[in-house]
Chains A and B, each alone.
Chain A
C-alpha cells in the first residue's frame, strides 16, 4: 500500500516531483481515483473540484519543468490538499455543513487558501464538518456523517472529521481544519493522523466562517509531523485583514525538526488522566511519555489545577460568541431564504428555523442566555474570569516545562449514533483539548498507538504561545522512534457498514 501514490506524504511527493519521478497531474489523478474508490464509504468530501484541481496540477508541472532549480520552488507546489468546508475558497461552494448556506458561493478567498494557492498547492475540494464546526463527530453535519477510515461504523471525530478522515484514507495528502475546542486535534487523534492547533493569532482567520472568534484557529492535518510543519510554514503569519493575528516572525518549522529532545522538559499534568478514560488510551500515552524520556527528555509531573472548569467555561464563551456570529445568517443577503415567509420578521424566524440544525440552535440559545441582562455577570463575565485562571495555569506550567504531554481524547473513536442523543457526553470528547483554545496556546495530536479494536490513539503535545517549533520538534523525535504514523487503515477490506 505504501507504494500507492495517494499514500505518499507531502515531503515524499515533493521530493519525487522535484526529481522528476512524478508529475502533479499523475499524483492528483491518483488521489482523485482514490476518492472515487473510497469516498462512498468514508464520505469525507462535501464538494470536489477535479477540473480545477487538475488544471492547478498541470500549472504546477509547468513550473517544475521550467524551473532551473526545483529545490527552490515552494514545498507545497503541486501537492493535492483538502480544505474544511468552513474555510472559504473563492468560487467553490461553502456550506459550513449547514442547510442555511446550501447554495452559498463565496465571492472572496480566505487568507490561508490564498497562501496555499500562492504556494502552488492543488485544492481538491471541501471536506465535511459538523454544522458551523459545532460538534465532535461530524454527526451534526446537515448533509451526512463522515466515517472513520479505521472502522467505518465509527465517527472520525470532529468537527474537522472530513479533513482527518480524508488524510487517513489517502483522499488527499494533507488538509486544513479549524480548531475551536479541539476540532483539529481530536479528529486527528481518532483518525491516526497529525493535527495541529496553532497559537491564537498565528494563522489568519480571514475567510474562516466564525464559530467562536476568540477561540477559532485554522490548523493543518497531515500524515506525519514533517508534513504538518510544511503546511504550517505556508499558512502562518500576520494578516492585516485579521486584527487578532499577531505580528510575530514565522520560523521555518521544518528546520525545527532536529530529532533531538535531550534535556527537553516534558510536563505530565495529573488532571489529564481522569477516571472514566479508556485504560488503553492512558497506557499508550504513558508509554509514549516513557519513549520521550528514553530519548533524553526530562519528564516532570505538573498541575493544571483549573482544568475541571474548562468545559463549563468553554460552553459559556463559545456559544455566547457563536450566538452573535451566526446572527448574520438571516436570508437577506445570501444563503437560504425561506420561500413561505410573508413578512420580514417571518423571514427571519422561518429561514433560521429551517436553516439551522438542532445543535446550532442549542448553542445559539445557550449563548444568548449567557449574555442576557441579569445573567451576563454570573455566566459570561465569570467564565472570562475563570478563563484567565486557565491561562495562568499554563503560564505557570511553562515556567517549569517546555512541553506538556497528555491524551488528545479520553477515548478512541466511538460508534456513529452512540452519543448523538447525549450532548453532554459528546462535549466530554473535547475535555482534554479545549483548555488551550481558552488559554490561546498551541497543541498538536499525533499517533501513539492503537487500542484492542485497532483504533488509533492520539498523544497531545501542548506548547506555550508561539511554541509550535518546540512541540513539532518533540513530536517529530517521537515519530522517528516509533512507526505508528506509518500504519494505514485497510479500507478496501472493510465492510461498509
Chain B
C-alpha cells in the first residue's frame, strides 16, 4: 500500500459490499388473501380480489405457509428465529401499490443474525453474515406507455422474502458466489424457484470503497446503492463497473456521492436514479390490522426437523460416503433433484459410486446441456442408468457404445437392452473372429506396421481405431488390444 502517497493508486481500494435479495415464496396463495400467487402469464388483473385490490374495509390475513417458508429459509441460513415478530406498514405512493403502503417487517423481523458460507476469492471459506430475513408482499406492475400508465395487480400481494446481508462481501465474484449459493439453498428448501427471468429473485447491492488505512481505522467510504438487478451476471457486472467508476473518481481526487443507481443492461453501466436528499421517508409503523406474530419454540423445532439435507452437508457426505471428488460432489449437489437422482442411481448400481458420478457429471450433464433440460424431466430413470453401467461392466457393450446407447435411451425412452438388441450393438469378444479382422488390418497397412516396429508405439491406438471402425465400434477393446499386442510385439 502506498501509505506515504497522497494519490492512492488504482486497485488499492477495498470494496465493502452488502446485498438485499427479494425472493418470491412458492406458496399457492398470496400473502394476505386467497388469490393464486401463480400470476405468470395470467391475463392482467385476473388474480385479484377485494383484499389485494385494497378495496375499502378489507383486512389482511397472514398466509401461514409463507411464514413457514421464511422460517425454513432463516433456519437454513443459521438465523435466530424471532418468537415474536411484527408486521409494519411501509408507506409510499405508487399505482402498483394498491393500499398506498406495503405490509412488510421493520423493527422485529422473523429471522435475524445468521450466516452463509461461500468460497472466498482466496479459495478459503468465508462467512457472510445475514442481518435479517423478513416477510413482506410484492407490488403489482406498472407499465407506462403512450402517455398512459397501466397497472396489473396480479403480482400485488405475492409473498416476498427479503434477505439482507451484512457488508461482508468483498468483490463482484464473491457477490456472485453468494447469490448462486443462496439460490441453491432456497431451491433445496422448495421456497423459491430461483427463476430470475420471471423475477422470482431480485437483487440490490450496496457498495463502498475504502483504503486500507481507512479499514485499519474502522472507517467506511460513501455508500452507493444499485437497484434493478435482474440477473446474477448483472450483479457481478454492476459491482465491477461501480468499483471501476468509483476508483477512477477517487483517483482523480473526486468524491463519491451517496446515491441510488440503476443498472442499464444495454449500455452496461450504472445510471443515477436518486440522490440522498430525495430519498423517501417510508414512515414505518406497526401494522394495526395484524397482531404480532408469535411462534412457539415447538413449532420452530418442527420446521427445523423438516429441513432437507442442505448442499454443504451433502457435499461432505458424498465425498466421504461415495469417495467422489469435491468438484463432482459440488456439481452433483447444485440441484437437490440431481443429487437425489444420483443417489438413487448409486443405490441401484452394484459398482463403485464414482462410476455413476463420472457418467452423470460427464455424459449426462453434456447431454443435458445440449437440450437445456433437467435430469428429472428426462425419460431416464436412475435404474436405467444403473442397468446401462452394469452392461458395460459385464462386457455386453463397451464404454463408447455405452455413451451412444445412453443418448439413444434419452431420446427414445427405451431401456438399454432393447436398444442394444435392436441395433446389434452388443460387443464382439469372439477372439477368432476378431483375430481375422486384426490380421486384415495389419496386412492392409504394412507401412504403419513398419513405423510401429521402428519405435512409434503410439500407433497402437490407431490400429485399435481401425479395428473398431471395421466392427462398427462393437469390438471388445481389451480383446483387440491383446490380439494387436500379440501380433506386433511377439512375432
Contact indicator B291/A328 (Cβ below 8 Å): no
Contact indicator B57/A371 (Cβ below 8 Å): no
Expressed in whole angstroms, the Cα–Cα distance for A72 and B253 within the complex equals 88
Contact indicator A368/B283 (Cβ below 8 Å): yes
> Which one, B90-98, B119-127, B254-262, B421-429, is touching chain A?
B90-98
* B136 CB, nearest partner CB in chain A, Å: 15
Would you give the 0/1 interface string for A198-241, flagging 1 where the beta carbon is closer than 8 Å to chain B? 00000001111110111000000000000000000000000011
Q: Which of B62, B100, B149, B281 contacts A324 (CB 8 A)?
A: B100
Expressed in whole angstroms, the Cα–Cα distance for A328 and B144 within the complex equals 20
Chain A contact surface mostly: loop
- Interface size for B (C-beta < 8 A) is 30
Q: Which of B50, B98, B144, B285 contacts A371 (CB 8 A)?
A: B285
* A487 CB, nearest partner CB in chain B, Å: 35
Would you give the 0/1 interface string for A317-330, flagging 1 where the beta carbon is closer than 8 Å to chain B? 00011011011111
Interface residue? A258 (CB, 8 A): no
* B91 CB, nearest partner CB in chain A, Å: 6
Expressed in whole angstroms, the Cα–Cα distance for A323 and B282 within the complex equals 12
Contact indicator A242/B59 (Cβ below 8 Å): yes
Expressed in whole angstroms, the Cα–Cα distance for A92 and B385 within the complex equals 67
Q: In B263-298, which residues have CB < 8 Å from any A CB? A: 281, 283-285, 288-291
> Which one, A33-41, A102-110, A144-152, A302-310, is touching chain B?
A102-110
Please indicate the chain B residues that have their CB under 8 angstroms from the CB of A96 in the complex: 56
Interface residue? A380 (CB, 8 A): yes
Q: Which of A210, A324, A330 contacts B57 (CB 8 A)?
A: A210
Contact indicator B91/A327 (Cβ below 8 Å): yes
Please indicate the chain A residues that have their CB under 8 angstroms from the CB of B57 in the complex: 87-88, 106, 110, 205-210
Known contacts A243-B62, A371-B91; is-contact A321 B288 (Cβ 8 Å): yes
* A330 CB, nearest partner CB in chain B, Å: 7
Contact indicator A240/B61 (Cβ below 8 Å): yes
Q: In B77-115, which residues have CB < 8 Å from any A CB? A: 89, 91, 93, 95, 98-101
Interface residues on A, range: 35 or more
Contact indicator A327/B93 (Cβ below 8 Å): yes
Q: Which of A88, A323, A344, A380 contacts B149 (CB 8 A)?
A: A344
Q: Specify the chain B residue showing the minimal Cβ separation from A206.
A: B59
Would you give the 0/1 interface string for B61-72, flagging 1 where the beta carbon is closer than 8 Å to chain A? 110000000000
Please indicate the chain B residues that have their CB under 8 angstroms from the CB of A106 in the complex: 55-57
Interface residue? B308 (CB, 8 A): no
Contact indicator B289/A333 (Cβ below 8 Å): no
Would you give the 0/1 interface string for B321-362, flagging 1 where the beta carbon is closer than 8 Å to chain A? 000000000000000000000000000000000000000000
Interface residue? A101 (CB, 8 A): yes
Interface residue? B482 (CB, 8 A): no
* A263 CB, nearest partner CB in chain B, Å: 36
* B114 CB, nearest partner CB in chain A, Å: 28
What are 21 sample pairs from A and B whose C-beta atoms fall under 8 A apart? A88-B57, A94-B56, A101-B56, A106-B56, A110-B57, A205-B57, A206-B58, A206-B59, A207-B58, A210-B56, A212-B288, A244-B290, A321-B288, A324-B99, A327-B91, A328-B56, A333-B53, A333-B54, A344-B149, A368-B283, A371-B283
Given A108-B58, A321-B288, A372-B281; 20 other pairs, CB 8 A cutoff: A88-B56, A104-B56, A107-B50, A107-B55, A110-B57, A206-B57, A209-B56, A209-B57, A241-B59, A244-B291, A324-B101, A324-B283, A326-B100, A327-B99, A327-B101, A330-B100, A348-B93, A371-B91, A371-B284, A376-B283
Binding site for B on A (CB under 8 A): 87-88, 94, 96, 101, 104, 106-108, 110, 205-210, 212-214, 240-244, 320-321, 323-324, 326-330, 332-334, 344, 348, 368, 371-373, 376, 380
